[in-house]
Amino acid sequence: MKTSQNTVLITGGSAGIGFEIAKQLSAKNNHVIIVGRNTERLEKAAGQLQNATAITADIADAADVDKLVTKLNHDFPALNMVINNAGYATLNSIVNDDDIFDKASAEMHTNYLSVLRLNQKLLPLLQKQQESAIVNVSSIVAFVPGRLTATYSATKAALHSYTQALRVALADTTVKVFELMPPLVDTEFSAEIGGHNGIPASQVADEFIAALETDNYEIRVAGTEQLYQLFLSSPAEALKVMQAPR
């Protein structure tokens, strides 16, 4: 996949992994469109980028998504890359929390169902392009769940399965389907689960760009590859490692 002269939509693009990817892609002569719920934060982020547009929208809200898709079709008909980075997570106990269903529902809606909806609505536009891509950002927990992020892990497992199926379904089209699987990353998003112990978001962006250039469709960043290999050889041992204190 080419890494310059693209028009790229990045959800959750005002901070963390999304912003670092936006920064690198904008520096490589791409037009980046960053989307998020907080207008002030978006505009501040866009001001630090070259050739960027900020659009306020909540990808979990159906009406916002419809408005976003309409605007993209009208104002950005050359859109050829969608990076589904926005996410939602809670720390919870699947045994003791009385509101576990509500927490899991919110996570599944944002992390999986909303991604599916946005992709479905943008596929007609992407398929008009000579070369295009969908990038779904999942996680190492798609393979090995964390004890206190069990419901979040389940959403990423669903996203991983969907991404594989989507890649097969689009194999004979111009749309390439990538999955970016970071380990723990030091961002505001992950602060509650010990994110300060994680890798920098810039490293995720570096490895993502390198993989994009070589059409590496499953991008297991940094330690994710080692844990994935352990999962393949010994699922029980990988599960044990994931529960270790961070």
Q: Indicate which CATH number applies to the domain containing 31.
A: 3.40.50.720
Whether the CB-CB separation of 80 and 133 falls below 8 Å is answered with yes
**Distance (Å, whole) CA 11 – CA 56:** 10
pTM here is 0.94
Residue 82 confidence (pLDDT): 98
Q: What is the pLDDT of residue 243?
A: 83
Q: Is residue 79 in some structural domain?
A: yes
Tell which phi-psi region holds residue 222, choosing left (phi > 0), alpha (psi between -120 and 50) or beta.
left
Is the pLDDT score of 142 beyond 70? yes
> Alpha-carbon distance 16 to 55, whole Å?
17
Give me the pLDDT at residue 147, please.
Answer: 85
pLDDT, average across residues 53-77: 98
Residue by residue, what is the 3-state secondary structure of 106-173? HHHHHHHHHHHHHHHHHHHHHCCCCCEEEEEECCHHHCCCCCCCHHHHHHHHHHHHHHHHHHHHCCCC
Q: How much is the pLDDT for 223?
A: 84
Domain containing 64 equals 7-242
Closest by Cα among 118, 85, 116 to 187:
85
Total of domains in the chain: 1
Please tell me the predicted confidence (pLDDT) of residue 164: 98
Residue 71 lies in a domain: yes
- Does the residue 224 lie in any domain? yes
In a domain, 2, yes or no: no
Distances (CA, A) of 139 to 18, 33, 56, 155: 14, 23, 25, 10
The whole-number pLDDT of residue 189 equals 63
Note whether 7 and 25 are within 8 A (CB). no
Q: Which residues are catalytic?
A: 152
The span from the CA of 5 to the CA of 28, in Å, is: 8
**% of residues, the chain, pLDDT over 70:** 93
Q: Compute the C-alpha angle 181/187/193, nearest 5°.
A: 80
**Within a domain: 1:** no
Q: What is the mean pLDDT of residues 183-207?
A: 73
Give pLDDT, residue 188: 65
pLDDT tens by residue, 147-158: 888 999 999 999
Listed residue (161, 206, 199) closest to 179, CA to CA: 161
Residue 36 falls within a domain, yes or no? yes
**15 inside domain:** yes
CA distances from 96 to 99, 108, 157, 245 (A): 9, 19, 23, 20
Per the domain annotation, does 172 fall within a domain? yes
State yes or no: pLDDT of 122 exceeds 60. Answer: yes
